[in-house]
Structure 1
C-alpha cells in the first residue's frame, strides 16, 4: 500500500490541478479556465464583510468589496490561487474558502494576516 500513495499523487498531475506538499491533496483552486470566464461566487468574511469574486479570464479576477471594485491579476502562490490588486490580496484555498488581506503601498504579497472568507 505504501507504493500506491506516490502513484495516487501523480494521478492528479497533468489535469490542470496542482498537488500541495503540505496536504498531499489535489488543489482545485487553480486559475479559472477560459470557458469559466464571467463566473463568480459570493463570500462572507469573518469580519462580516461581503465579497463577490468574478473571474474575467484565466489571469484576471474582479473583486467586489461593498461599493469598491478592484481588478486583480494572478500572482505566484505556493498553494491555492493568489490574486493581487491595488490594495488587496485574495488567496483561495479550494473552492469554498479564501483570505482577503490588505496590501501596504509597494507590497506584492500581503504582510497582514487578513480575514478568512467562505462561500455563502
Structure 2
C-alpha cells in the first residue's frame, strides 16, 4: 500500500495543473484576443449621408444608416453581394474605395423597391 506524503500530493497537483490541454489554453487566449467589432466599410452617398457597414460573416451584414443599425442576411443576386433585412436591401458591387453600394426598399413580394441611397466606397 502506497502512502502519499504532502510532498507527493503537492507534486501531483502541480503536474495536473500543467497538463491542461492545448485546446483549453488556445480557447482562453482566443477569447481574450477576439476583437469586439468587425472591420468597418464606409460609403458616401449621393444625399451626403455616410453609411457604415460591417460584415460579421460571409452571409451577413450590419448596415448603419441615419443613426440606426440593420442586421441583414445574404440573398441571391445576379452580380455583387445582396443583403436583406428590416424591409431593406443593401446591394454592393466591388470592394474598397470606389465600390458601389445601393440601399433599397425590399418589398413583400421579394422584389426590390425604390432606391433610398446610391453610395460609393471611401
TM superposition score normalised by structure 1: 0.62
Alignment of 1:1-120 (within 5 A): 38-95=38-95, 96-104=99-107, 106-120=108-122
More helix by share: 2
The structure that has the greater radius of gyration is 2
Superposition RMSD in Å: 1.7
Runs (4 or more) in structure 1 with deviation over 2 Å come to none
Secondary structure at the aligned position of 2:112 is classed as coil
Structure 1, unaligned runs of 5 or more = 1-36
Rounded to whole Å, the distance in 1 between the matches of 2:56 and 2:41 is 12
Secondary structure at the aligned position of 1:112 is classed as strand
Given that 1:89 and 1:109 are in contact with CA atoms closer than 8 Å, whether structure 2 keeps it comes out as no
Rounded to whole Å, the distance in 2 between the matches of 1:114 and 1:66 is 12
Rounded to whole Å, the distance in 2 between the matches of 1:115 and 1:82 is 14
Q: Deviations over 1:44-77 (max 9, x none)?
A: 1111221101001111100000211000000000
Secondary structure at the aligned position of 2:111 is classed as coil
CA distance change for structure 1 residues 113 and 66 in 2, over 3 Å: closer, same or farther? closer
Structure 2, unaligned runs of 5 or more = 1-36
The alignment covers a number of residue pairs equal to 83
